Chains A and B, each alone.
Chain A
Amino acid sequence: MDLSFLLAGTGKTMTSFFSMTYLFAFLPVCLIVYAVTPKKAKKYVLLAESLLFFWLVSGALVLYLILSAVSVFCFGLWLDKLQQKQKTALKGLPKEEKKAAKQKHLRKQRAVLALGVLIHIGMLLVLKYSEFFLGNINSILSAFNCPFRMYIPKFIMPVGISFFTLQAVSYITDVYHGLIAADRNFPRILLFMSFFPQIVEGPICRYGQTAEQLWNVGQIKYRSLTFGLQRILFGMMKKIVVADRLDPLVKKVFDEPNSFDGGVIILAAVCYTVQLYMDFSGSMDAVLGTAEIFGVKLPENFQRPFFSRSVSEFWKRWHITLGAWFKDYIFYPVTSSKRMKNLTSSARKKLGNHYGPLAAGGIALFCVWWCNGLWHGAGWNFIFFGMYHFVLILSGNLIEPLVKPINNKLHIKTDSAGYKVFQIIRTTILVIIGELFFRANGIASGMQLFGRIFSDLTFRSFDGGLLYRLGVDRYDLIIAAVTVVIVFIISILNEKCISIREALEKKSLVFRWCILYVLILYIVVFGAYSFGYIPVDPMYAQF
């Protein structure tokens, strides 16, 4: 019997939530099956659909996900058992003995936590980074003329491993800290780890945020269905009309760093930043919209990042769940460690209240951005990208006390609209520079592109035939720009806490439908799909 016919791995295109297979086959079937299932069984259907999704996308690699969930489940129970043991053991002990006994128990729990984290992070390191690390070791060996070379194994990575690994680690750590109780229900843990809308590109959820919601899903409600579909449509507009349309231009310039002058490189860097935002936030709209249909509220991953007044604020608004994960599981554990606490108190005495904590904070920040860069990909340009932001954020903190007196002396009103706009533009420029290195094909290529902006800052390429060479035409740029303006206006309204969907809900049915028809026809007509276009994979799925 030919088991390959069970469609394992045949739905690879479904990693894009705007692929035809996902939108017009998988999702509708899932919703129908889910809708007709009795309430009590809905959670199991959702779990089965999630595993089926993973199976269709990654085939047998679904085992990684299941094993990861098994391990998370076991470590949770193990920690719980140790915690119960600690409670019983400490009961009735005199105060003086309690501390030592507690330390003894905590040491055990810490060891279990370390093992759990090590297994998950280790699996991620091996699968995602072996080639990079071993390749670098071989380069060093080669530089020293050493004949020995490390064998570089090739691994196939299951989709979404960078996302579900972080969820796994967060669960074990939260159980260790007593923030959540260890779950004794394995299917619930598995659903938390595998919920299909979030498995490819996140958001990275905490157990406390989603596990109970997922386990208590109910009937699909009309409001959640319409709201969810509206959000998916909005995301589709971002992805198909803007992100995919700009792809040929971005690809061409970044693949040929020596072929274009500085003006074109600036255009490409801006376009890439727009593309990345529209791609990722568009996909998030599809993810959150799909979850909304099931009545599940996933955490937001974007909060209008291009309204940020500093790089540090930008990262609180861009890929929020990743930033929050690094903050909770790397930054705080580093700064609150005994050594760092000692460093802070001694530095505070010498450097004062502002600079003192920055010593330990800087070390923690370095760890965060090193990991952030590396999380995005196994390449030096990603590490550079991380270090670039580390330097920007740290230097922002360092010069903060100096800026205030300068502003006062120059009579700059920091709360004026003009100054805010200046800060937003400055932040955006710094972000675009970072994204240029992020997209470049290696660090040398990034340097080349960045260098040309200064060494060859002309716009001569814009004379005749440039757009044709870049694989786009002026209509592509016009429609992308118009759509960006639409998204920008909606973002301004959101920033003022006006929800378009809720406002629309209050309008008449005819008006609502007209808006939806316009949006659908806008995507159908102006979308970059079908003839003459190559489908672009979701950009964050590769991380």
Chain B
Amino acid sequence: MLTTLKNTLKGIVFTVILFALLLLASAVFIPKDNTKEVWKYDYTANGFLAEPKDTIDVLFLGDSEVFSGVSPLRIWEKYGITSYCCSTGKQRLWYTLEYLYQFLENQSPKVIFLETDLVLKYFSVDDLILHAPERYLPVLRYHDRWKQFSFTELWQAPHYSYLDKYKGYHIYGDANAANTEKYMDETNESANMSKMNQLYVDTIFDICKRTGAKFVLYSTPSTKNWNMKKHNRTVTLAEKLGVDYIDFNLLQDEVKIDWDKDTHDKGDHLNYYGAVKVSDYLGKYLSETGILKNHKGESGYGSWNTAFEAYKKDVEKKLNIKYE
């Protein structure tokens, strides 16, 4: 009995020391800046870390459909609303939740959009067990930074200096026509949503409720990623949560996506022209909610005008067009 107790105690002490070591390693490995060189992956999505406190009113969460489909600077230009795209390629809901927690540390968004492409995407229990502890033990996520260590940054406190010039948006100028055959064909069937996904969406929704942010589901136009089955399932979800759901795939009268010109990869993602249409609609929707201020002309928001001017120039240069 005494031996068992002694061994159990040994096990507990061993585990506690191990956690302490992992915490120490986490302090060493966590990126000390959010620049491309330091962060390596998804640095544009992390640009919000350097934004001044409580200056972003709208948050767009989701996978690549978001960073290719919504332009925060376009919304700023038209409505003076500040927003940010926290989106990464192949994002899964556990990662979305991480972004939301991180975003809320320094910002108090009034509206939070969740793009639905990832809402129905499966992720394994393995992913969950691997990534869930990363929030508490960042060494598990950033361990690969040993390849780029400089001794001086090892013990520095984090200081974020990188402001993303397009606020998380990526400009895609080229067009590759989509095949629209069977796109959004009518059906009463509904896609599956795993219990895990449901749990995550519920958590995001609860956080929004707790922080007083309006939660909105929206589906980017995409002939490859969206269909009526998914739409039907998302409608059920939105009804259950009692939130707005904007499906751009069914808003073709109001947001006229030209599938020959507005997608850069055959209907998978929108290009700049498609993103402008979606952003204009979302800007109008946001301004009509009546909960957001037009910050144009306010002190502390001058950098948004500078960012917009640079964005406008880049669009004209990259696409060889006159910005409208």
Contacts and interface: CB of A to CB of B under 8 A. Distances in A.
Interface of A: 10-11, 13, 19-21, 24-25, 222, 473, 475, 509, 513, 516-517, 520-521, 524-527, 529-532, 535
Interface in B1-21: 3, 7, 10, 14, 17-18, 21
A538 to B, nearest CB: 13
Contact of B125 (A25, A222, A473, A513): A25
Interface string B264-297: 0000000000000000000000000000000000
Contact of B17 (A24, A517, A526): A517
A359 B22 CA distance: 62
Contact of A475 (B3, B7, B17, B147): B147
A58 to B, nearest CB: 16
Contacts of B144: 530-532
A209 to B, nearest CB: 29
Q: Which applies to chain A's interface (DSSP): helix, strand, loop or mixed?
A: helix
Most chain A CB neighbours (cut-off 10 Å) among B17, B18, B125: B125
Contacts of B51: none
B126 A13 contact: yes
A21 B128 CA distance: 9
A301 to B, nearest CB: 25
Given A475-B147, A520-B18, A530 B134 contact: yes
Contact of A531 (B18, B25, B41, B128): B41
Interface of B: 3, 7, 10, 14, 17-18, 21-22, 25, 29, 40-41, 124-131, 134, 139-141, 143-144, 146-147
Nearest to A11: B125
B25 A525 contact: yes
A24 B126 CA distance: 9
A527 B143 contact: yes
A20 B25 CA distance: 20
B124 A524 contact: no
Contacts of B3: 222
A530 B141 contact: yes
11 contacts: A13-B124, A21-B124, A513-B17, A516-B14, A524-B139, A525-B139, A525-B143, A529-B130, A530-B131, A530-B144, A532-B40
B45 to A, nearest CB: 13
Given A20-B130, A475-B147, A524-B139, A10 B22 contact: no
Given A13-B125, A222-B7, A530 B130 contact: yes
A521 B21 contact: yes
A530 B140 contact: yes
B140 A21 contact: no
Contacts of A13: 124-126
Contacts, number: 63
B130 A473 contact: no
B147 A473 contact: yes
A525 to B, nearest CB: 5
A21 B130 CA distance: 9
Contacts of B129: 20-21, 24-25
Given A513-B14, A517-B18, A517-B21, A525 B126 contact: no
Contacts of A529: 130
B23 to A, nearest CB: 12
Contacts of A509: 10
Contacts of A535: 126
B92 to A, nearest CB: 12
Please provide the 6 A-B residue pairs with the shortest distance between their CB atoms, ordered closest to farther.
A20-B129, A13-B126, A475-B147, A20-B130, A222-B7, A20-B126
Contacts of B147: 473, 475
Contacts of B7: 222
A524 B131 CA distance: 13
B143 A530 contact: yes
Contacts of B130: 20, 529-530
B144 to A, nearest CB: 6
A20 B129 CA distance: 6
Contacts of A24: 129
A11 B128 CA distance: 13
Given A513-B14, A530-B130, A531-B41, A524 B125 contact: no
Given A13-B126, A527-B143, 17 more contacts: A20-B127, A20-B128, A21-B126, A21-B129, A25-B125, A475-B147, A513-B17, A516-B14, A517-B18, A520-B18, A524-B22, A525-B25, A525-B29, A525-B143, A529-B130, A532-B40, A535-B126
A527 B142 CA distance: 11
B146 to A, nearest CB: 6
A503 to B, nearest CB: 20
Contacts of A531: 41, 141, 144
A526 B125 CA distance: 23
B99 to A, nearest CB: 14
Contacts of B131: 530
B25 A19 contact: no
